[in-house]
Amino acid sequence: MNAEFALVTGATGFIGRWLVKLLALRGINVRAGIHNTSHAETIHPTDGVEPIDIDILDRQSLGDAMESIDAVYHFAALVDTKAPKDDLFRVNVEGTRNVWHCAAERGVKAALYCSSTAVYGLLAKDHQPVSEKIRPKAIEPYGRSKLLGETVASEIADKWGLHTVIIRPVAVFGPGEHSPFGNQVRQAVFSKLLLAAGFQNRRFSFVHVEDVAEAAMHLISAPGSDGQAYNIAVDRPILFEEAFQSYLRALKQSRRPLTRVKLLAQLSKWVHELPGLSHRLSRYDGHRSAFNIWQPGFDMTYSSRKLLSTSFRFKWNRFEDVLLSCINE
């Protein structure tokens, strides 16, 4: 499919901003869907990019935005996992339903839905990479809302014959990340020890935001992608110990002074060399002086074999380079 005009919902979001920029660089005319106009300045003025005010809960604004559009990239979502369940389902399920209905009615050629690996729940008890062959089993409201979003998009796509692709990114790193947990980590980096008790000898999956945007553009027109879901994760999960060493090296290479951060990182390294101390701090500190970066599911890994079979290749394979892109933003 050759798309000359694309609509990106959530265009001011973490991934959406990158996608708008990369689509424009490919010579594609982009309607950048903005819900909160106070964030409009995050979209850099570029030839071929038209910021447009839309609300995915309002079919009229969606229908108007899709006039003469070839492809829709749906990235607008409520990503705060602590948000009320009703809000999560209204935005992530009903909003998605509206997007696919409008796309079908307006004759859009293809649509891509950005889901999440949260749809799998906590399925990797044997620590084997989770592939798309595993049936998703979301266990918390955010994951369930994204999984139901996949369902409504697929049902409408089947009914109307709308070419539809689903992507499931893992933990996404990159400059400008502003999820609630990302903000917590960023704040902790400047003021606390970073701990991950129980994470030693475990691997986790990651991906850079630019690779997510590139994968979306690649998959929406890849042969055989219609009706398919793809994990978006670097094909080599990284050990926590490796990741921490990458973090220390990235700090040394940083163009910024970051004296306090470097000191805290070194202290964190010493604490992790004493597992008993790391566990005790994680359990009893209460985030006063230490921040536990481990969360349920963080030691799960995901297979990207299906994505790689489409000839897609990751640009950001080295975790150290990923961290440098964040530190030097």
Show the domains of the chain with their CATH numbers.
5-171+206-236+301-314 (3.40.50.720)
70 secondary structure, DSSP code: S
Which of 31, 38, 81 minimizes the C-alpha distance to 54? Answer: 31
Positive or negative: CA dihedral 98, 12, 172, 272: negative
Predicted confidence band of residue 279 (pLDDT cuts 50, 70, 90): confident
- Do 95 and 154 touch, CB atoms closer than 8 A? no
pLDDT at 75 over 60: yes
Q: How far apart are the first and last CA of the chain?
A: 34
Which of 79, 71, 32, 23 minimizes the C-alpha distance to 51? Answer: 32
Q: What is the mean pLDDT of residues 68-95?
A: 95
pLDDT at 296 over 70: no
Buried b / exposed e along 261-287 (16+ C-beta atoms within 10 A) = beebbeebbebbeeeeebeebbeeeee
- Do 203 and 237 touch, CB atoms closer than 8 A? yes
Predicted confidence band of residue 37 (pLDDT cuts 50, 70, 90): low
Tokens found for residue 63 = 């229908």
- Do 124 and 300 touch, CB atoms closer than 8 A? yes
CA dihedral 207, 210, 213, 218 (to 10 degrees): -90
Q: What is the pLDDT of residues 109-146, one digit of tens each?
A: 999 999 999 999 866 555 678 999 999 989 899 999 99
Q: What is the pLDDT of residues 191-234, one digit of tens each?
A: 777 777 667 778 889 999 999 999 999 999 999 999 999 999 99
User: What global pTM score does this model have?
Assistant: 0.90
Residue ranges with strand state E in the chain: 5-9, 29-34, 49-53, 71-74, 110-114, 163-169, 172-173, 193-195, 203-204, 207-208, 228-232, 238-239, 290-292
Residue type, 231: N
- Rounded-to-integer distance, Cα 252 and Cα 258, Å: 9
**Which contacts qualify for 23-28: CB closer than 8 Å, 24 or more apart?**
23/217, 24/48, 24/49, 26/217, 28/3, 28/4
- Rounded-to-integer distance, Cα 272 and Cα 35, Å: 43
* pLDDT at position 245: 87
- Rounded-to-integer distance, Cα 309 and Cα 300, Å: 22
The CB-side HSE value for 238 (13 A sphere, CA atoms) comes to 19
Residue with tokens 């995915």: 56
Three-state DSSP class for residue 255:
coil
